[in-house]
């Protein structure tokens, strides 16, 4: 066969080449599975990326609030009002933090950790009660601040890593 013929033969076969070939097995099931797996992976990565800055932001807000609380306690009108304000601020921060961490159930925590939280909460309440009797006591105020900070820090330690490991 001469060169021109083989050229024509190739051109003819090329133009007849089917555009489609049919796979022997159904590929869709594998695609569905792949989509599911990769979508899950993307969601978890997004959650990770979303909550890491959120945790940072929460920590910064917490630090600012704490500093503000430490350096300007005299802004309240009276020592008794200051104690109430501290209690309210603390509850707000705690609730905000729990919302950030997806409202975790404290009851589901292991006993030892639950006890630590309960001990801190109980200590805080005792100090608050003592402050109701003696609202101008600066030492008690400082202990209350410290206890509140410990409680918030413990909550951060308990729930923040769970988000990051999704």
Partner 1 sequence: MKSSHVIDASDLFIHDQEKAWITSAQQGNQQAFHQLYLTHHKRIYALCWRMLADKDSAEDVCQEVFVQLWLNIKKFREESKFSTWLHSIATNVVLSHLRKQKNWLQRVFSIEDQTIQESTVEMEELPELDKHIMRLPERARLVFVLFAVEGYRHQEIAKMLGMAVGSSKSQYHRARELLKEWVSDE
Angle at 125 between CA 120 and CA 127, to 5 degrees: 95
Q: Name the minimum Å distance from CB 50 to partner 1.
A: 18
Per CB under 8 A, residues contacting partner 1 are 1, 3, 5-7, 9-10, 13-14, 16-25, 27-28, 30-32, 34-35, 38-39, 42
Specify the residue, 42 or 153, whose C-beta has the smaller distance to partner 1: 42
Q: What is the number of other CB atoms lying within 10 angstroms of the CB of residue 58?
A: 20
Residue 104 structure tokens: 């975790």
Specify the residue, 31 or 60, whose C-beta has the smaller distance to partner 1: 31
Nearest to 90 by CA among 71, 57, 127, 62: 62
Specify the residue, 8 or 103, whose C-beta has the smaller distance to partner 1: 8
Specify the residue, 1 or 71, whose C-beta has the smaller distance to partner 1: 1
Q: Name the minimum Å distance from CB 4 to partner 1.
A: 10
Specify the residue, 13 or 165, whose C-beta has the smaller distance to partner 1: 13
Q: Name the minimum Å distance from CB 30 to partner 1.
A: 5
Nearest to 47 by CA among 94, 97, 100, 98: 100
The answer to whether residues 66 and 86 touch, using CB atoms and an 8 Å cutoff, is no
Q: Name the minimum Å distance from CB 49 to partner 1.
A: 16
The answer to whether residues 156 and 99 touch, using CB atoms and an 8 Å cutoff, is no
Q: Name the minimum Å distance from CB 47 to partner 1.
A: 17
Q: Is 131 exposed, middle or buried (0-12, 13-18, 19+ CB in 10 A)?
A: buried
């Amino acid at each position: 066969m001469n060169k021109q013929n083989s050229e024509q033969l190739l051109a003819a076969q090329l133009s007849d080449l089917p555009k489609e070939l049919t796979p022997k097995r159904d590929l869709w099931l594998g695609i569905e599975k792949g989509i599911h797996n990769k979508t899950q992976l993307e969601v978890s990565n997004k959650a990770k990326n979303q909550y890491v800055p959120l945790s940072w932001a929460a920590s910064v807000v917490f630090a600012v609030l704490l500093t503000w609380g430490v350096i300007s306690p005299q802004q309240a009108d009276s020592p008794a009002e200051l104690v109430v304000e501290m209690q309210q601020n603390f509850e707000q921060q705690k609730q905000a933090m729990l919302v950030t961490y997806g409202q975790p159930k404290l009851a589901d925590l292991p006993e030892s950790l639950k006890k630590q939280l309960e001990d801190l909460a109980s200590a805080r309440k005792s100090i608050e009660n003592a402050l109701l009797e003696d609202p101008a006591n600066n030492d008690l105020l400082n202990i209350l601040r410290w206890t509140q900070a410990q409680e918030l820090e413990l909550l951060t330690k308990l729930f923040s890593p769970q988000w990051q490991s999704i």
